[in-house]
Amino acid sequence: DAGVIQSPRHEVTEMGQEVTLRCKPISGHNSLFWYRQTMMRGLELLIYFNNNVPIDDSGMPEDRFSAKMPNASFSTLKIQPSEPRDSAVYFCASSVRTGEPQHFGDGTRLSIL
């Protein structure tokens, strides 16, 4: 079975540029989560969706961050404009439903210069 698929695996860009991270959850999973991981702050939940609807976006740092889930098999996390402090590993995860074990993608390692 295919796991959670994220793209790109690595992204290096200059500050001020728009960054779009993509995620395909496991088929049949109804909950999708975006996390950010840094050495300083650990693994932080940015936003999560149930049945394509955003439920909790309290972890989204500021208006520069936005996330969408147009259908059950695709989600994007966008940063515009990007800043060096956004450099981190961004993980997408999905689960059958909220409260069930989450399966993580391999992550996108983002570096903003």
Partner 1 sequence: GQNIDQPTEMTATEGAIVQINCTYQTSGFNGLFWYQQHAGEAPTFLSYNVLDGLEEKGRFSSFLSRSKGYSYLLLKELQMKDSASYLCAVHGGATNKLIFGTGTLLAVQP
Structure token digits, residue 49: 């969706």
Question: Which of residues 70 and 99 has its CB atom nearest to partner 1 in the complex?
Answer: 99
State in angstroms the smallest separation of the CB of 22 from partner 1.
16
Between CA 18 and CA 59 the distance in angstroms is 20
State in angstroms the smallest separation of the CB of 16 from partner 1.
28
Phi/psi of residue 85, nearest 5 degrees: -70, -10
Which DSSP category does 17 fall into? -
Between CA 5 and CA 16 the distance in angstroms is 26
Question: Which of residues 13 and 54 has its CB atom nearest to partner 1 in the complex?
Answer: 54
Instruction: Determine if the peptide bond prior to 81 is cis (ω within 30°).
Output: yes
Question: Which of residues 21 and 80 has its CB atom nearest to partner 1 in the complex?
Answer: 21
State in angstroms the smallest separation of the CB of 52 from partner 1.
16
Question: Which of residues 42 and 70 has its CB atom nearest to partner 1 in the complex?
Answer: 42
Between CA 63 and CA 99 the distance in angstroms is 28
State in angstroms the smallest separation of the CB of 109 from partner 1.
9
Where on the chain is the footprint of partner 1 (CB under 8 A)? 33, 42-45, 48, 55-56, 58, 91, 98-99, 101-107
Structure token digits, residue 33: 């989560």
